[in-house]
A and B are shown apart, each in its own frame.
Chain A
Amino acid sequence: NAGVTQTPKFRVLKTGQSMTLLCAQDMNHEYMYWYRQDPGMGLRLIHYSVGEGTTAKGEVPDGYNVSRLKKQNFLLGLESAAPSQTSVYFCASSYPGRQQETQYFGPGTRLLVL
């Protein structure tokens, strides 16, 4: 039981390049989330998914796209990276819809955009 895993762990991009971050969970969770963490700003929700084939915008969705083709995977895409997207990205997953359910976090992906 690996929990939540993220690929890659670290990446350097040039402005304008594209990339996809992969999140995988083996806990059969319905809900999955992508956050970015920046100094002094805590975690901010980018996009989330409440089930396979569904996605929704969070607090800071601009410049990102997501897909949830399989229940266990949640992909975060950057079509044209910008220096403002330099951040640490965390994926999380949880059981369906009850507010009290815990989120389980991956180890993070550090992205540097030059």
Chain B
Amino acid sequence: AQSVTQLGSHVSVSEGALVLLRCNYSSSVPPYLFWYVQYPNQGLQLLLKYTSAATLVKGINGFEAEFKKSETSFHLTKPSAHMSDAAEYFCAVSDYSGNQFYFGTGTSLTVIP
């Protein structure tokens, strides 16, 4: 079975500082990996996805993530945090059939002015 682990349920950064949200996956086959963002009282929106085309994936709002097979990681980064980045972030992996997605427990990002 596939799974993802998000280290740190809460992360706080200062405005303008680097954002780093960690995600490690477990998969016996090449995975497809996703980062979603959830703003308060809203559904999830796709930030970016890894589909084996390139290990460094650029997403919306200045976010990017790097797939590292040797570390089984897919960490999300943004060079400079903005107040509007405050939200819940979920890492997800799809199973081999593409029928099911497995989500991490989420990381709540707080941006301090």
Contact = CB atoms under 8 A, between A and B. Distances in A.
Interface of A: 4, 31, 33, 35, 40-45, 48, 50, 56, 58-59, 90, 92, 97-103, 105-108
A43 B90 contact: yes
- Going nearest first, the 5 A-B pairs with the smallest beta carbon separation are A105-B43, A100-B51, A99-B98, A99-B32, A43-B103
A97 B99 contact: yes
B84 interface: no
A48 B32 contact: no
A58 B99 CA distance: 10
Nearest to A40: B105
B67 to A, nearest CB: 13
Contacts of B104: 42
A105 B45 CA distance: 7
Contacts of B90: 42-43
Interface in B49-73: 49, 51
B101 A100 contact: no
A40 B106 CA distance: 7
A105 B99 contact: no
Contacts of A107: 41-43
B105 A31 contact: no
B26 interface: no
A103 B105 contact: no
